[in-house]
Amino acid sequence: MLRYPRDIVNQDTDYVDIKIYKYKAPFSSQGFGDNASVSGYNQSVSDLGTIKESIILYMPEDIQAQYGANWEGKNISSIGRGILGTGGGLSGNDLGVAFKAMGETIATVGEGLTQGTVVANLVSNALKEANFDTLSTQDIFSGGTGRIFNPNTEVIYQGPQMRTFTLNFKLQPKNSPEAQEIKKIISAFKKAMLPKYNEGSELLFGTIKGKDSQGVNLRGFVGVPDIVDVKFKRGGANHPYVSQFKPCAITSVDVNYTPDGAWATYTDGSPVATSLSLGFQELKMVYAEEIDQGGY
């Protein structure tokens, strides 16, 4: 276990516990069962295997947890509202029934499209074939009649934003052993975020359907970088007042050997101070139900 400061932890200490694991491909061991549950979704990061390195650092000065969502405005015409409304009215029933009703509505609407819309589409296609600028149906209605279809814009949820965060540390060794510890910590993060060159000696498939196989030689491939599990802790437990994160990828490792603006070393050549900035991106989405369960 690497740590800075070396005497950092007791039962009342707040600190960051970062464990490094070998990356496990999310679909490498899953079967074809129902993984639609939250536990099934988290399966690939619920058991990360053997710890490659364990690093303990002091609680940084700037700790933030940001939550984001992607909402996007969509233009839904009156026809579209009618079609979506058909399915929405059946939302309490079987999903297949709702989609079937929507399909039937689309067919009915298709038969009853106005002549103006058909003409506008023909004009749009003709201009496109003649290598003129592409004009939409809305452009043609606007330029020809001074009217457009009511867009009926609605803001619709598209999905979550994956959480990212940065931790910044200033490492100032008090003695030579602590300087060596800092060097090892920085080296561990560098190695964890970089691809692995020597993992190409394995075979992709050892057996196929119980029969021996030559497999596929991986010497033309590189291994995916390691992942980390970052936990904010108090004593031996997760800190109850700080948001926790699921396992993360390391997206950046920034090292500054002159954080005070001047080069300065001890007699053995180790820097008087080194700043370390680590960027992380969470590998899994967080669901509302998990906030109370896991402190996310």
Kindly report, residue by residue over 173-221, the tens digit of the pLDDT.
999 999 999 999 999 999 999 998 866 545 454 444 444 445 555 566 7
Q: Give the DSSP H or E segment for 109.
A: helix 95-111
- Other Cβ atoms closer than 10 A to 279: 16
Q: In sequence order, which residues have a C-beta less than 8 Å from that of residue 12 and are 6 or more positions away?
A: 234, 235
**C-alpha pair distances (Å), 116 with each of 74, 129, 134, 144, 235:** 23, 20, 18, 11, 72
Provide the 8-state DSSP code for 265: B
Same domain? For 185 and 118 the reply is no
Average pLDDT, the chain: 79
| Residue 191 confidence (pLDDT) | 96
CA distance 135 to 122: 11
Q: What percent of the chain has pLDDT over 90?
A: 42
What phi and psi values does residue 178 have, to the nearest 5 degrees?
Answer: -70, -35
Same domain? For 42 and 136 the reply is no
The closest of 137, 150, 158 to 81, measured between CA atoms, is 150
Same domain? For 188 and 269 the reply is yes
| Residue 11 confidence (pLDDT) | 74
Q: Give the DSSP H or E segment for 152.
A: none
Looking at the 3D structure of the chain, how many domains does it have?
2
Same domain? For 225 and 252 the reply is yes
Mean pLDDT by 10 residues, the chain (296 residues): 84 92 81 64 86 95 88 76 57 56 56 54 59 66 74 86 94 94 97 82 47 54 91 92 94 96 94 96 92 84
Instruction: Name the domain boundary from 140, 159, 178.
Output: 159
Positive or negative, the Cα torsion across 128, 134, 137, 142? negative
| Residue 76 confidence (pLDDT) | 75
Domain hosting residue 245, numbered range: 2-68+163-294
Instruction: Name the domain boundary from 131, 159, 187.
Output: 159
Same domain? For 168 and 251 the reply is yes
Same domain? For 194 and 63 the reply is yes
Same domain? For 143 and 17 the reply is no
End-to-end CA distance of the chain: 25
Positive or negative, the Cα torsion across 269, 270, 275, 277? positive
Same domain? For 50 and 177 the reply is yes
Same domain? For 10 and 141 the reply is no
Q: What is the model's pTM?
A: 0.76
Same domain? For 96 and 64 the reply is no
Same domain? For 148 and 170 the reply is no
Instruction: Name the domain boundary from 102, 128, 159.
Output: 159
Same domain? For 170 and 53 the reply is yes
Q: Give the DSSP H or E segment for 160.
A: strand 154-161
